[in-house]
Amino acid sequence: YKGINLDTLQIIIEKTKVKSIDPSIIIENGLANKKDLIKILGRGELKSKVNISAHGFSAKAKSIIEDLGGKTEIIKKKKAKVE
């Protein structure tokens, strides 16, 4: 997993004024690569209500996001096809 902290997300929110964050926004801002699985971590302060889609969330991050009125959505990992 590529860990992204709440304070980093707050910088993206202030810079881009987005109301929701998904891996494409994190990739566009140079914080992860297309193949990375992204986990949101609880370090730092989040000031804005925002909906976030990621491959994982720490309990602290999930609690902070939801306490501000935002939503968390876990993206299911794609499994390799077996032939």
| Whole-angstrom Cα Rg for the chain | 13
pTM for the whole structure: 0.89
pLDDT band, residue 78 (cuts 50/70/90): low
Q: Are the C-beta atoms of residues 56 and 26 closer than 8 Å to each other?
A: no
Whose structure tokens read 């971590």?
41
The half-sphere exposure of 24 on its side-chain side, counting CA atoms within 13 A, is 2
pLDDT tens sequence across 22-76: 999 999 999 999 999 999 999 999 999 999 999 999 999 999 999 999 999 999 8
CA distances from residue 12 to 31, 33, 76, 82 in whole angstroms, order as listed: 10, 16, 24, 38
